[in-house]
Amino acid sequence: MDSAPRGLPLLISRLDKAYAGKAGPRPVLRDIDLQVEAGTFITLIGPSGCGKSTILRLVAGLDRDYSGSIRVGEAPIRGPDLSRGMLFQEHRLFPWLTVRRNVALGAFHSGLAPAALDALVRELLERVGLAHAADLFPSQLSGGMAQRASIARTLAGQPRLLLLDEPFSALDAFNRLALQLELERLWQRTGITMILVSHDIEEAAYLSDRIVVLEADPGRIRTVVENPLPRPRDRVSPAFNAIKARLFEALHVDTGAPSAVPTDPVPTDPAPEEAIP
Protein backbone atom coordinates (compact mmCIF):
# COMPACT_ATOMS: atom_id res chain seq x y z
CA MET A 1 0.00 0.00 0.00
CA ASP A 2 2.70 2.49 0.90
CA SER A 3 4.21 2.08 -2.55
CA ALA A 4 0.84 2.96 -4.12
CA PRO A 5 0.82 6.06 -6.30
CA ARG A 6 0.65 9.33 -4.43
CA GLY A 7 -2.34 11.61 -4.42
CA LEU A 8 -3.92 13.23 -7.44
CA PRO A 9 -4.33 16.99 -7.83
CA LEU A 10 -7.79 18.47 -8.39
CA LEU A 11 -8.54 21.58 -10.42
CA ILE A 12 -12.03 23.04 -10.52
CA SER A 13 -12.56 26.07 -12.75
CA ARG A 14 -15.63 28.25 -13.09
CA LEU A 15 -17.94 25.49 -11.93
CA ASP A 16 -21.66 26.24 -12.10
CA LYS A 17 -24.35 23.74 -11.18
CA ALA A 18 -28.13 23.98 -11.18
CA TYR A 19 -30.77 21.44 -10.22
CA ALA A 20 -34.14 21.28 -11.92
CA GLY A 21 -36.77 23.08 -9.83
CA LYS A 22 -40.52 23.62 -10.27
CA ALA A 23 -39.89 27.10 -11.63
CA GLY A 24 -36.97 26.07 -13.85
CA PRO A 25 -33.30 25.43 -13.08
CA ARG A 26 -32.26 26.42 -9.56
CA PRO A 27 -28.59 27.44 -9.28
CA VAL A 28 -26.83 25.70 -6.39
CA LEU A 29 -23.16 26.34 -7.19
CA ARG A 30 -21.80 29.46 -8.80
CA ASP A 31 -18.35 30.18 -10.13
CA ILE A 32 -16.40 27.74 -7.97
CA ASP A 33 -12.65 27.86 -8.53
CA LEU A 34 -10.59 25.48 -6.48
CA GLN A 35 -7.08 24.17 -6.83
CA VAL A 36 -6.02 21.26 -4.62
CA GLU A 37 -2.41 20.17 -4.94
CA ALA A 38 -1.60 16.45 -4.89
CA GLY A 39 -1.48 15.08 -1.36
CA THR A 40 -3.21 18.08 0.25
CA PHE A 41 -5.96 17.77 2.87
CA ILE A 42 -8.74 20.28 2.37
CA THR A 43 -12.10 20.70 4.07
CA LEU A 44 -15.26 22.24 2.67
CA ILE A 45 -17.33 23.87 5.38
CA GLY A 46 -20.43 26.05 5.26
CA PRO A 47 -24.13 26.23 6.09
CA SER A 48 -26.55 23.48 5.19
CA GLY A 49 -27.50 23.58 1.53
CA CYS A 50 -24.46 25.55 0.32
CA GLY A 51 -23.54 22.71 -2.04
CA LYS A 52 -20.71 20.86 -0.26
CA SER A 53 -22.04 17.37 -1.04
CA THR A 54 -22.87 18.47 -4.57
CA ILE A 55 -19.21 19.38 -5.12
CA LEU A 56 -18.14 15.94 -3.86
CA ARG A 57 -20.67 14.18 -6.10
CA LEU A 58 -19.44 16.11 -9.13
CA VAL A 59 -15.80 15.32 -8.36
CA ALA A 60 -16.73 11.66 -7.79
CA GLY A 61 -18.26 11.63 -11.27
CA LEU A 62 -21.72 10.71 -9.97
CA ASP A 63 -23.31 13.69 -11.71
CA ARG A 64 -22.07 15.10 -15.00
CA ASP A 65 -24.64 17.83 -15.43
CA TYR A 66 -22.63 21.01 -14.75
CA SER A 67 -20.77 23.73 -16.57
CA GLY A 68 -17.13 24.64 -16.08
CA SER A 69 -14.28 22.23 -15.71
CA ILE A 70 -13.28 19.60 -13.14
CA ARG A 71 -9.97 17.88 -13.68
CA VAL A 72 -8.44 15.19 -11.49
CA GLY A 73 -4.82 14.62 -12.41
CA GLU A 74 -4.48 15.31 -16.10
CA ALA A 75 -7.93 14.19 -17.09
CA PRO A 76 -11.42 15.69 -16.99
CA ILE A 77 -13.97 13.67 -15.01
CA ARG A 78 -15.86 11.19 -17.17
CA GLY A 79 -17.65 9.16 -14.49
CA PRO A 80 -16.97 7.26 -11.28
CA ASP A 81 -13.58 5.65 -11.08
CA LEU A 82 -11.69 3.69 -8.40
CA SER A 83 -8.96 6.35 -8.30
CA ARG A 84 -11.56 8.52 -6.51
CA GLY A 85 -12.87 6.84 -3.35
CA MET A 86 -15.83 8.10 -1.39
CA LEU A 87 -16.83 7.75 2.25
CA PHE A 88 -20.22 8.70 3.59
CA GLN A 89 -21.76 9.48 6.95
CA GLU A 90 -23.30 6.00 7.06
CA HIS A 91 -20.99 3.03 6.50
CA ARG A 92 -22.79 1.45 3.51
CA LEU A 93 -21.35 -2.01 4.22
CA PHE A 94 -23.20 -5.03 2.82
CA PRO A 95 -24.99 -6.55 5.83
CA TRP A 96 -24.80 -10.12 4.50
CA LEU A 97 -20.99 -10.08 4.11
CA THR A 98 -18.35 -10.30 6.81
CA VAL A 99 -15.99 -7.38 7.37
CA ARG A 100 -13.25 -9.27 5.52
CA ARG A 101 -15.46 -9.82 2.47
CA ASN A 102 -16.77 -6.27 2.51
CA VAL A 103 -13.21 -4.97 2.42
CA ALA A 104 -12.21 -7.44 -0.32
CA LEU A 105 -15.12 -6.15 -2.39
CA GLY A 106 -13.45 -2.73 -2.41
CA ALA A 107 -10.65 -4.29 -4.48
CA PHE A 108 -13.06 -6.08 -6.79
CA HIS A 109 -11.75 -4.41 -9.94
CA SER A 110 -8.08 -4.59 -9.00
CA GLY A 111 -7.45 -7.97 -10.65
CA LEU A 112 -5.36 -9.07 -7.65
CA ALA A 113 -4.73 -12.81 -7.31
CA PRO A 114 -6.55 -14.35 -4.29
CA ALA A 115 -3.40 -14.57 -2.14
CA ALA A 116 -2.46 -10.94 -2.82
CA LEU A 117 -6.05 -9.85 -2.17
CA ASP A 118 -6.05 -11.72 1.17
CA ALA A 119 -2.79 -10.04 2.14
CA LEU A 120 -4.12 -6.60 1.18
CA VAL A 121 -7.33 -7.11 3.18
CA ARG A 122 -5.37 -8.33 6.20
CA GLU A 123 -3.03 -5.33 6.02
CA LEU A 124 -5.91 -2.87 5.70
CA LEU A 125 -7.83 -4.40 8.59
CA GLU A 126 -4.72 -4.18 10.75
CA ARG A 127 -4.21 -0.62 9.71
CA VAL A 128 -7.71 0.42 10.81
CA GLY A 129 -7.53 -1.66 14.00
CA LEU A 130 -10.04 -4.31 12.93
CA ALA A 131 -7.87 -7.42 12.51
CA HIS A 132 -9.82 -9.04 15.36
CA ALA A 133 -13.18 -8.30 13.70
CA ALA A 134 -12.54 -9.73 10.22
CA ASP A 135 -15.19 -12.44 10.53
CA LEU A 136 -17.92 -10.32 12.11
CA PHE A 137 -20.94 -9.04 10.20
CA PRO A 138 -21.81 -5.32 10.08
CA SER A 139 -24.67 -5.80 12.57
CA GLN A 140 -22.10 -6.99 15.12
CA LEU A 141 -19.98 -3.83 14.86
CA SER A 142 -20.14 -0.58 16.83
CA GLY A 143 -20.57 2.64 14.81
CA GLY A 144 -16.85 3.41 15.03
CA MET A 145 -15.88 -0.12 13.95
CA ALA A 146 -18.28 0.00 11.00
CA GLN A 147 -16.80 3.30 9.85
CA ARG A 148 -13.29 1.83 10.18
CA ALA A 149 -14.36 -1.13 8.03
CA SER A 150 -15.78 1.27 5.52
CA ILE A 151 -12.47 3.20 5.39
CA ALA A 152 -10.62 -0.09 4.80
CA ARG A 153 -13.02 -1.02 2.01
CA THR A 154 -12.50 2.34 0.30
CA LEU A 155 -8.72 2.07 0.65
CA ALA A 156 -8.83 -1.41 -0.92
CA GLY A 157 -9.67 0.32 -4.21
CA GLN A 158 -6.28 2.11 -3.91
CA PRO A 159 -7.80 5.58 -4.39
CA ARG A 160 -5.56 8.54 -5.09
CA LEU A 161 -8.21 11.07 -4.13
CA LEU A 162 -10.53 10.44 -1.20
CA LEU A 163 -13.86 12.28 -0.91
CA LEU A 164 -15.20 12.23 2.63
CA ASP A 165 -18.79 13.36 3.14
CA GLU A 166 -19.12 13.95 6.90
CA PRO A 167 -17.79 10.45 7.63
CA PHE A 168 -17.57 10.94 11.40
CA SER A 169 -20.61 13.07 12.11
CA ALA A 170 -22.75 10.16 13.32
CA LEU A 171 -20.11 8.96 15.80
CA ASP A 172 -19.81 9.83 19.46
CA ALA A 173 -17.19 12.42 20.42
CA PHE A 174 -14.53 9.90 21.52
CA ASN A 175 -14.80 7.78 18.38
CA ARG A 176 -14.73 10.92 16.29
CA LEU A 177 -11.47 12.10 17.88
CA ALA A 178 -9.91 8.63 17.48
CA LEU A 179 -10.92 8.35 13.84
CA GLN A 180 -9.70 11.85 13.04
CA LEU A 181 -6.29 10.87 14.39
CA GLU A 182 -6.30 7.63 12.39
CA LEU A 183 -7.40 9.39 9.24
CA GLU A 184 -4.57 11.88 9.62
CA ARG A 185 -2.07 9.02 9.98
CA LEU A 186 -3.47 7.24 6.93
CA TRP A 187 -3.26 10.45 4.96
CA GLN A 188 0.35 11.04 5.99
CA ARG A 189 1.30 7.45 5.22
CA THR A 190 -0.39 7.19 1.83
CA GLY A 191 -0.18 10.74 0.48
CA ILE A 192 -3.75 10.45 -0.85
CA THR A 193 -5.35 13.81 -1.60
CA MET A 194 -8.29 14.23 0.80
CA ILE A 195 -11.38 16.39 0.46
CA LEU A 196 -13.55 16.40 3.53
CA VAL A 197 -17.01 17.88 3.96
CA SER A 198 -17.62 18.75 7.58
CA HIS A 199 -19.80 20.86 9.85
CA ASP A 200 -17.29 20.52 12.65
CA ILE A 201 -14.96 23.50 13.03
CA GLU A 202 -12.56 21.65 15.30
CA GLU A 203 -12.37 18.70 12.89
CA ALA A 204 -11.61 21.09 10.03
CA ALA A 205 -8.91 22.86 12.05
CA TYR A 206 -7.38 19.57 13.17
CA LEU A 207 -7.21 17.83 9.80
CA SER A 208 -6.91 20.40 7.05
CA ASP A 209 -4.09 22.18 5.30
CA ARG A 210 -6.71 24.53 3.95
CA ILE A 211 -10.36 25.15 4.79
CA VAL A 212 -12.71 26.36 2.07
CA VAL A 213 -15.60 28.31 3.58
CA LEU A 214 -18.72 28.36 1.43
CA GLU A 215 -21.90 30.39 1.58
CA ALA A 216 -25.34 29.48 0.28
CA ASP A 217 -27.94 30.58 -2.30
CA PRO A 218 -26.24 29.89 -4.58
CA GLY A 219 -23.25 28.04 -3.15
CA ARG A 220 -20.00 29.92 -3.64
CA ILE A 221 -16.64 30.28 -1.96
CA ARG A 222 -16.64 32.99 0.69
CA THR A 223 -13.05 32.64 1.79
CA VAL A 224 -10.21 30.17 2.18
CA VAL A 225 -8.41 29.77 5.50
CA GLU A 226 -4.86 28.41 5.31
CA ASN A 227 -3.81 26.21 8.22
CA PRO A 228 -0.02 25.94 8.40
CA LEU A 229 0.13 24.49 11.96
CA PRO A 230 2.61 21.63 12.37
CA ARG A 231 1.19 18.11 12.83
CA PRO A 232 0.05 16.40 14.91
CA ARG A 233 -1.88 19.42 16.08
CA ASP A 234 -2.34 20.39 19.66
CA ARG A 235 -6.08 20.93 20.04
CA VAL A 236 -5.70 23.12 23.12
CA SER A 237 -2.86 25.36 21.94
CA PRO A 238 -3.44 29.11 21.41
CA ALA A 239 -2.40 28.72 17.74
CA PHE A 240 -5.05 26.02 17.21
CA ASN A 241 -7.67 28.19 18.88
CA ALA A 242 -6.65 31.08 16.64
CA ILE A 243 -7.43 28.94 13.55
CA LYS A 244 -10.79 28.01 15.06
CA ALA A 245 -11.49 31.67 15.78
CA ARG A 246 -10.78 32.53 12.14
CA LEU A 247 -13.22 29.84 11.05
CA PHE A 248 -15.92 31.00 13.44
CA GLU A 249 -15.45 34.50 12.06
CA ALA A 250 -15.49 33.36 8.42
CA LEU A 251 -18.71 31.42 9.11
CA HIS A 252 -20.23 34.42 10.92
CA VAL A 253 -20.77 32.34 14.04
CA ASP A 254 -21.43 34.30 17.21
CA THR A 255 -19.06 32.70 19.72
CA GLY A 256 -20.22 34.92 22.55
CA ALA A 257 -16.77 36.53 22.75
CA PRO A 258 -16.67 40.34 23.04
CA SER A 259 -16.49 41.63 19.45
CA ALA A 260 -13.85 44.27 20.27
CA VAL A 261 -11.49 45.03 23.11
CA PRO A 262 -12.76 48.24 24.73
CA THR A 263 -10.35 51.13 24.22
CA ASP A 264 -11.56 53.07 27.26
CA PRO A 265 -10.72 51.73 30.70
CA VAL A 266 -13.47 49.51 32.02
CA PRO A 267 -15.58 51.63 34.43
CA THR A 268 -15.33 50.46 38.01
CA ASP A 269 -17.46 51.33 40.97
CA PRO A 270 -16.18 54.52 42.63
CA ALA A 271 -14.30 54.10 45.90
CA PRO A 272 -16.73 54.78 48.79
CA GLU A 273 -14.99 58.02 49.83
CA GLU A 274 -15.19 59.34 46.20
CA ALA A 275 -18.83 58.44 46.02
CA ILE A 276 -19.77 60.64 48.95
CA PRO A 277 -20.02 64.30 47.85
Ligand X SMILES: Nc1ncnc2c1ncn2[C@@H]1O[C@H](COP(=O)(O)OP(=O)(O)OP(=O)(O)O)[C@@H](O)[C@H]1O
Q: Which residues bind ligand X (CB under 6 A)?
A: 19, 28, 48-54
Report, in Å, the least distance between residue 205 CB and ligand X: 18
Q: Would you call 237 helix, strand, or coil by DSSP? A: coil
Residue type, 67: S
d(CA 87, CA 65): 22
Q: Which is nearer to ligand X, 130 or 165 (CB)?
A: 165
Report, in Å, the least distance between residue 259 CB and ligand X: 27
Q: Which is nearer to ligand X, 40 or 54 (CB)?
A: 54
DSSP tag of 81: -
Q: Which is nearer to ligand X, 43 or 54 (CB)?
A: 54
Residues 6+ apart with CB under 8 A from 247: 45, 201, 204, 205, 211, 213, 225
Report, in Å, the least distance between residue 173 CB and ligand X: 20
Q: Which is nearer to ligand X, 182 or 215 (CB)?
A: 215
Q: Would you call 35 helix, strand, or coil by DSSP? A: strand
Report, in Å, the least distance between residue 176 CB and ligand X: 17
Report, in Å, the least distance between residue 224 CB and ligand X: 17
d(CA 246, CA 225): 8
Report, in Å, the least distance between residue 54 CB and ligand X: 3
Could you give the C-alpha distances from 268 to 51, 99, 264, 274, in angstroms and in order? 49, 65, 12, 12
Give yes or no for a contact between 152 and 124, defined as CB atoms under 8 angstroms apart.
yes
Report, in Å, the least distance between residue 100 CB and ligand X: 32
Question: What is the number of alpha carbons within 13 Å of residue 88 lying toward its C-beta?
Answer: 7
Q: Which is nearer to ligand X, 49 or 80 (CB)?
A: 49
Residue 51 sits at φ, ψ, to 5 deg, of 105, 15
d(CA 46, CA 8): 24
DSSP tag of 270: P
Q: Which is nearer to ligand X, 182 or 202 (CB)?
A: 202
Q: Which is nearer to ligand X, 39 or 51 (CB)?
A: 51
Give yes or no for a contact between 148 and 129, defined as CB atoms under 8 angstroms apart.
yes
